[in-house]
Structure 1
């Protein structure tokens, strides 16, 4: 059996944890530059606030309902996520962190285990130990565990266990096919053509027909909904997805210098994430974006993919490559709104292939990176950084309603008497 766990209204729950007086009030969290809604309390959903609503379009509705608005506080959310994952690890021998607010767990030998009671125990203990409300779904496959989680949310339950065919059949009967994990827009439209509206309808299709129409991925999903495991749980998030860091500027950038500062910051962020998970990357993609919604400006979306000579996770090497790349794709005369960097071709740090004909000071790079990490861990992130990352950072994104970094900044730690 597998379990799927996620945090209810993740960003809102993190904010409420340190401001419990916000329970019962309309709360929303905004995206980069306070542009649109990316998290809502249940009260916000009830007054019609939708995901990705532009802030200026719902501003009047929020003011009318005395809403509390927060800018995205990613350091806080990431730290609370890490606390949750460490807590969940106590209940499984294999934990796969799927995103910042969700994870899969393998439950192991459960022959003598009361799954309903076990689910309740996990839910209660996590709330007690982290303060974060979670929903938990349990099933014989990853897809059914995810489905159980969503079904529990719809019924406003803390957990749901699908451990018998009777329970599974009841859960899939009216479950919308578009809400099934793995059914994207293309599959959804194709299934609608065949009058497949629910997970139950999808299960009734012949396996050969599914494989012909939806390739092997659709066939695996079909098998999983029948309780036959086809997806493999991993003890870390799937490395092939890559690691990315990006951010919109607070205003249009036409000069190269602030864009270099921003891409250097993203390079340092990605390199740090790789070191934290003991991985290295072979390929970096660097890109620039103008505002596609502003038709008055000329559009430019350049990107470049660079293969690193040796798999690396060094801040110095990533920054060197990223800055050279941004200089190659930047062009004067455009109003750039966003830049970012994505690392792919990720491998474990112990599997690096070296070239005997090239002189790469790997040990020196690792010592430098380790020194930076030690100092930043001791005195706070950003204490030591490369000069090209900038110090003024006038281009940094707008965060007019940013809460304190209660768990990641000494000056913001909660003080009690």
Structure 2
């Protein structure tokens, strides 16, 4: 059996947790540079606010309903996510963090325990220990666990356990095919041509037909909906295809120095993420973007991919490589809106293959990076950083409605009186 857990209205839940007076009110969280809506409270959904609505379009509606508006506070969300994941790890021998607000749990060794009671305890204890409301779906495959989670929300329940064939068939019968995990727009349009409306309709297709039109991934999903496991819970390092850090500027940037600072920050962020999951990268991609929506400006989308001499997760090494890369692709005369760094070729830190013909040793760099991590963990992220990241980050994205760093900054910790 597998369990799928996610935080209900994750970003909104994190904000209202520290401002409980907002519960029951219209609350939205905006994307980078306060551009569009990326999270909504149930009350916001009820007044017609949709995901990805541009802020300037729904501004009057939000003002009319006295809505609470927040800029994305990723440091807070990531910390609360880590607290939830640490709690979930107590209930399984294998946890796969699927996204910032989702995780899969393997329950294969749970014997002699009533699953309904076990899942109810997970839901209750996570709420007690973190303050976050979660929904739990349980099924014999990962796809059915994900389906059970969505079905549970539609029923207004905190959890749903599909531990018998009868329960699975009952939920699958009327479950919309477009809401099934792994069915994107392309597959949905193709399935509509086969008159597939529900998950049950999809199950009734012949496996050979599914494999012919939806490749092996579609075939695996088809098998999983019949209760035949085809996906497995993997370690984070094994499933990582890439780690990326990117951000739009608060205004167009034309100076190379500012773009270098932003690139250095993204390089450091990628390195930190790799160290957190005990991985190293062998390839780095650095890119720049102009605003494709502003046709009055000349467009330029340069990128460069470089192979790291030796697999590493050193902040210093990443920063040096990425700053050199951005100098190579930057060109004057363009209004750049975004830059980013992506690491690929990710391997576990313990599986780095060294070169017999080189005396390269980055142990000092890794020690220094670890020291920076320890200091930043104690005094707050960014307390100690490389000079390449700059001091006054005038290029940082617009965050007019940013809440406090309640759990990651000493000056923002709530004081009880």
TM-score interval (norm. to shorter): over 0.9
User: In the alignment, is residue 398 of structure 1 matched against residue 407 of structure 2?
Assistant: no
**Are the aligned partners of 2:406 and 2:412 in contact in 1 as well (CA < 8 Å)?**
yes
Deviations 1:316-358 (A, max 9, x none): 1100110111111111111111111111111011111122223
1:108 Cα offset (Å): 2.3
Between Structure 1 and Structure 2, how many residues are aligned?
417
1:237 Cα offset (Å): 6.2
- Supply the distance in 2 between the matched residues of 1:404 and 1:131 (Cα, whole angstroms): 17
- Supply the distance in 1 between the matched residues of 2:272 and 2:231 (Cα, whole angstroms): 29
Superposed counterparts of 1:107-256, under 5 Å:
107-236=107-236, 238-256=238-256
User: In the alignment, is residue 102 of structure 1 matched against residue 102 of structure 2?
Assistant: yes
User: In the alignment, is residue 89 of structure 1 matched against residue 89 of structure 2?
Assistant: yes
- Supply the distance in 2 between the matched residues of 1:378 and 1:58 (Cα, whole angstroms): 40
- Supply the distance in 2 between the matched residues of 1:262 and 1:335 (Cα, whole angstroms): 15
Corresponding position of 2:337: 337
**Are the aligned partners of 2:6 and 2:101 in contact in 1 as well (CA < 8 Å)?**
yes
Give the stretch that moved more between structures: 54-63 or 323-332.
323-332
> Aligned pair in 2 of structure 1 residues 239, 110: CA closer, same or farther (>3 Å)?
closer
1:269 Cα offset (Å): 0.7
Deviations 1:254-277 (A, max 9, x none): 111100000000000110111111
- Supply the distance in 1 between the matched residues of 2:110 and 2:77 (Cα, whole angstroms): 32
Q: TM-score, normalised by structure 1?
A: 0.98
Task: Give unmatched runs, 5+ long, in structure 2.
Answer: none
Deviations 1:281-301 (A, max 9, x none): 011111111111111111111
Backbone CA RMSD of aligned residues: 1.1
- Supply the distance in 1 between the matched residues of 2:341 and 2:273 (Cα, whole angstroms): 13
Superposed counterparts of 1:20-31, under 5 Å:
20-31=20-31
Give the stretch that moved more between structures: 25-34 or 167-176.
167-176
Secondary structure at the aligned position of 2:60 is classed as helix
1:238 Cα offset (Å): 4.7
Q: TM-score, normalised by structure 2?
A: 0.98
User: In the alignment, is residue 325 of structure 1 matched against residue 325 of structure 2?
Assistant: yes
- Supply the distance in 2 between the matched residues of 1:90 and 1:303 (Cα, whole angstroms): 43
**Are the aligned partners of 2:379 and 2:410 in contact in 1 as well (CA < 8 Å)?**
no
**Are the aligned partners of 1:240 and 1:345 in contact in 2 as well (CA < 8 Å)?**
no
**Are the aligned partners of 1:253 and 1:336 in contact in 2 as well (CA < 8 Å)?**
yes
**Are the aligned partners of 1:98 and 1:237 in contact in 2 as well (CA < 8 Å)?**
no
Deviations 1:223-274 (A, max 9, x none): 0000000001124365432111111100000111100000000000110111
Corresponding position of 2:375: 375
**Are the aligned partners of 1:239 and 1:346 in contact in 2 as well (CA < 8 Å)?**
no
Runs of 4+, deviation exceeding 4 Å = none
- Supply the distance in 2 between the matched residues of 1:235 and 1:3 (Cα, whole angstroms): 16
Give the stretch that moved more between structures: 293-302 or 250-259.
293-302
